[in-house]
Amino acid sequence: MLSVRDLSFSYTRHGEELFDGLTHEFTPGKVTAVTGPSGRGKSTLLYVLGLMLTPSRGEVILDHDRVSHASDTSRSRVRAARIGFVFQDAALDPSRVVLDSVIEPALYAGWSARRARRRGRELLEEMGVAARADHKPGEISGGQAQRVAVCRALVTDPAVVLADEPTGNLDRGNAEGVLAALTRATDHGRDGEAKGRTVIIATHDPFVLEHADEVLAL
């Protein structure tokens, strides 16, 4: 369960406060779309939830742990093992093959390479891009790259998946494929947990908003 309590964030000490004391619980097993006008902090909220930014006020709570103010090393470990990220531009390593990109978080989480590769191939199979496992990102389409990014976000079987404008650079067909993949990700109970996985998408894409289970407007 991911929640925020009295959350505010500012990039500078006396700068504009974002979120204005936001308190919210994200429902496990649901896709939550975070939306709002540009500059209201949709992506910033994802980075705060993903423990890459520390809130200026309030806290992020993950499975009853107040993770937002933990040490940098602890937050990195939480990020590797319990939070998956999907970036707008997929952000795959251009010099490595797709499978290597997929298993990155698992390696940071301390998995063996063999175990990570096995899990990575399973996910690529599920997402329909297994045939591209040994291709470099430059050799696959944008839609395939984004589905690979979803695989990477899921490889450690995290409690939460955060996606920042995942369909922003895609045509409708590919956007549908990626959204379907993210929606399917909520169904998988994490480690047998019945409630499923929390998926949060920062977006202003009406198509995504239309298909999200919940919408958080900033």
**Which helix H or strand E contains 33, and what residues bound it?**
strand 31-35
Least separation in angstroms between residue 113's CB and other proteins is 6
Q: Which is nearer to other proteins, 106 or 179 (CB)?
A: 106
2: left (phi over 0), alpha (psi -120 to 50) or beta: beta
Stretch of residues binding other proteins (CB under 8 A), selected from 57-65, 93-101, 137-145, 167-175: 93-101
Least separation in angstroms between residue 154's CB and other proteins is 12
Of 4, 19, 60, 104, the one binding other proteins (CB under 8 A) is 104
Distance CA 211, CA 183 (A): 9
Q: How many residues bind other proteins (CB under 8 A)?
A: 30
- Binding status of residue 42 toward other proteins by CB under 8 A: no
Beta bridge partners of 35: 217
Of 67, 100, 133, 190, the one binding other proteins (CB under 8 A) is 100
- Binding status of residue 157 toward other proteins by CB under 8 A: no
- Binding status of residue 54 toward other proteins by CB under 8 A: no
- Binding status of residue 9 toward other proteins by CB under 8 A: no
Distance CA 212, CA 22 (A): 20
DSSP string for 113-148: HHHHHHHHHHHHHHTT-GGGTTS-GGGS-HHHHHHH
**Which helix H or strand E contains 65, and what residues bound it?**
strand 65-66
Residues that bind other proteins (CB under 8 A): 43, 47, 50, 52-53, 72-73, 76-77, 79-81, 83, 85, 87, 91, 93, 95-96, 100, 104-105, 107-113, 152
